[in-house]
Amino acid sequence: MPLNVTALVIFIALFVFITVLGFLAAHWRRGDLDILHEWGLAGGRFGTVVTWFLLGGDLYTAYTFIAVPALVFGAGAIGFFALPYTIVVYPIVFVVFPRLWSVAKRHRYITAADFVQGRFGNRWLALAIAVTGIVATMPYIALQLVGIQVVIAAMGIEFQGNWLLSDLPLIIAFVILAAYTYSSGLRAPAMIAIVKDILIWVTVIAAVVVIPIELGGYGKIFASVPQAKLILAAPPANGTGAYSAYATLALGSALALFLYPHSVTGVLSSDSRHVIRRNSALLPAYSFLLGLIALLGYMAIAAGVEKAPEFAAMFKQYSNSFAVPALILWAFPSWFAGIAFAAIAIGALVPAAIMSIAAANLYTRNVYRAFIAPVCSDRQEAQMAKLVSLVVKLGALFFIIFLPLKFAIQLQLLGGIWISQTIPAVIIGLYTRRLHHWALFIGWAAGILTGTGMAYASNFQSAVYPLHLAGYVIPSYAALYALALNIVVSVVLTPIFNVLGIAHGRDETSDGDYTSDEDRAMAVPGMAAASGAAGRR
């Protein structure tokens, strides 16, 4: 690709702007950044609007913006499972996560593993939750870099045969990211998320207006998509086919999404449980955006970018991931392509920052403090988290530079299956602690092993596992099968452990903690019981 100077200048200008913003963010809603709660959760002071931007920037990542249309471009309708996924996730968030917010606020939890520790009193179970979160997050961060890589290449920056020079822009971007995350904590991605989201909205709205005009309308776009890709294939007589795959991918992904550490960080940084409830109705705006972005995959088919000679080399290197950048170059003048590419690259930095902070919180609280240095000071704890956030990002960078891309993709696929196995301890734990903590631990292990085995059966190519039941084939997202086994094991082992007399751990939470508002969070223990008694009169 020839060097696109106009696009590059605009891209760099926007990049410099958000870098300055990232460092300035340290002064925003000033707090003592030597305390983990301030660095890693911004003190839990974000209202409805900032939380909307933060979670929007956090969940709808650059990787999503590249990978979803790439899937639609290559495979068609199945790629649209992202829609039911992001439709059903919000009722779940609405019902479940205000409880996590309330109990976390009262007990100063900053991770899901903190909650599991407090609820079940078993630090090994908490460690399992923390390690699952960290391991699931690492490849996710690495994949964000792919978004940056693709758009940098699309602007024509290439150094044939010299990996150091080729990866230099990526390394620079990541060093900048690491520096402002270190100094400003969660405030930096929160502030940058606002810029990122505005750029993404502008880009997508322009794309869904301008490109269909150039292509002769939506009818023409859909007409150019091969019939076989347009809707899901009807299931065979002896199975549920693409139908169950589509529905279980959506449901399983929805159940898992808010268990990812970066989602928990976003939820817990809000300043009230009502903010989470409100955002459950407001965040679907991003789902709509995601649906429009998915349509870009079809627009790329209609525009015939794959056959354009100038893009051939790029498709060869990045395959379908180049569909969206190619479409942008095809449809827009250089200056707007610069804005669009900046939106994608900044869209990678925001979640990468939040993910590295979330992983650092987990390591510091549930590994370092729980197992290595139980008596560390608040200051030491925050310092450790800052260092770990650097290590995590460095790891992701090495991952992308030195390992084949397919490892990161396969690990991210496994990450979704693994993080789903924390559902019983975290989500069921928010409602009841009847399940025995060791039963939950063994259930978790069984789920991880089964889910990994199912992915292995497809040679890590697919997250969908075709379960054979008496000649009937039910393809389903492996995470759900593994989760079902996980829950069954937890439920069956609980009475056995109870009969054996293995003690339940200490529960430091009380029922009122799960529904409390922030202003009552500071009240003395026993207040909830007293107000309950008053209500009964």
Give me the residues that bind another protein (CB under 8 A), please: 77, 80, 83-84, 86-88, 90-91, 94-96, 98-99, 217-223, 230-232, 234, 242-243, 246-247, 250-251, 274, 277-278, 280-282, 284-285, 287-288, 291, 295, 431-432, 511-512, 514-515, 532, 535-537
Identify whether the C-beta of residue 239 lies closer than 8 Å to the C-beta of residue 475: yes
Closer Cβ to another protein, 164 or 234, answer by number: 234
- DSSP element (H, E) containing 397: helix 378-402
Closer Cβ to another protein, 316 or 536, answer by number: 536
Closer Cβ to another protein, 221 or 392, answer by number: 221
Closer Cβ to another protein, 26 or 77, answer by number: 77
State in angstroms the smallest separation of the CB of 86 from another protein: 7
Closer Cβ to another protein, 91 or 333, answer by number: 91
Q: In whole angstroms, what is the distance from residue 159 CA to residue 92 CA?
A: 47
Identify whether the C-beta of residue 379 lies closer than 8 Å to the C-beta of residue 442: no
Closer Cβ to another protein, 378 or 517, answer by number: 517
Amino acid, single-letter form, for residue 48 = T
Q: In whole angstroms, what is the distance from residue 508 CA to residue 291 CA?
A: 43
Per DSSP, which regions of 352-471 are E strands? 464-469
Q: In whole angstroms, what is the distance from residue 301 CA to residue 81 CA?
A: 19
State in angstroms the smallest separation of the CB of 300 from another protein: 16
State in angstroms the smallest separation of the CB of 220 from another protein: 7
State in angstroms the smallest separation of the CB of 304 from another protein: 18
Q: In whole angstroms, what is the distance from residue 256 CA to residue 128 CA?
A: 16
Identify whether the C-beta of residue 263 lies closer than 8 Å to the C-beta of residue 359: no
State in angstroms the smallest separation of the CB of 281 from another protein: 4
Q: In whole angstroms, what is the distance from residue 360 CA to residue 178 CA?
A: 12
Q: How far apart are the first and last CA of the chain?
A: 76
State in angstroms the smallest separation of the CB of 248 from another protein: 9
State in angstroms the smallest separation of the CB of 219 from another protein: 2
Identify whether the C-beta of residue 189 lies closer than 8 Å to the C-beta of residue 353: yes
CA gyration radius, the chain? 23
Closer Cβ to another protein, 45 or 277, answer by number: 277
Choose among 114, 332, 76: nearest CA to 205: 332
